[in-house]
Amino acid sequence: MKRQLVIFGAGDIAEVASFYFSHDSDYRVAAFAVDPAYRKDDAFCGLPLVSFEDVEASFPPSGFDFFVAVSYSKLNATRAQKCREARQKGYRLASYVSSKASVWPGLEVGENCFILEDNTIQPFVRIGEGVTLWSGNHIGHHSRIGDYCFITSHVVVSGGVTVQDGCFIGVNATIRDHVTIGARCVIGAGALILGDAEPEGVYAGSASERAKIPSTRLRKM
């Protein structure tokens, strides 16, 4: 029998989380919850939408687990705060690891993680709580991903890397082996990190510039 789940959120990420949990987990999504100021309706995705402040009255922790489907807002601090509040209400936090991710026995994954398809997670990796790995990343052997990090898509984290708490890593970023990414760093799309990154650093990748000639003047296209 499937365990029932309440998802915090009523936006795109909550809808995506509901889809994955419903189609590829041992959970059945029963309801959604949001803070009162964001509750504009009584339903979301065809399921009840209730106020977070009294969610346990209708969906008690004794019969329901909880998942916080929140993005990297405020360097992941919003997600961390809601997870703490859900625990204070007595909920157990669910994690999702896609059946289409490549993982090995012994993988350590914390609560409220969201690991999507086509992630390759090599042996001896440890993943903290509240971590999102969007689709298509490579996490190298013996690496450690700290709590409440958000790693987007097609990121390469090489072997032996430590990513400390609260980091954001953008699409197609590459991190060389055996370096440490300090807490609350923002690694931009396409960035190449070859050495340790100090906490709260911002590392922007290079954006492509428009060429001086228009596409209609390209001779071989």
pLDDT tens-digit series, residues 71-120: 999 999 999 999 999 999 999 999 999 999 999 999 999 999 999 999 99
State residue 216's pLDDT score: 87
Domain 95-202 sits in CATH at 2.160.10.10
CA 169 to chain centre: 11
Confidence of residue 1 (pLDDT cuts 50, 70, 90): confident
Residues 118 and 154: their CA atoms lie apart, in Å, by: 9
Q: Which of 102, 185, 202, 92 is nearest to 145 (CA)?
A: 185
β-strand 43-44 against 47-51: which pairing, if any? antiparallel
Q: What is the pTM of this model?
A: 0.94
> What is the reported pLDDT for 198?
96
Residue of higher predicted confidence among 219 and 168? 168
Architecture of domain 3-88: 3-Layer(aba) Sandwich (3.40)
Mean pLDDT of 43-67: 97
Which two structure tokens, joined as six digits, stand for 132?
């999102």
Domain boundaries, the chain: 3-88, 95-202
Instruction: List residues bridging with 7 in a β-sheet.
Output: 32, 67
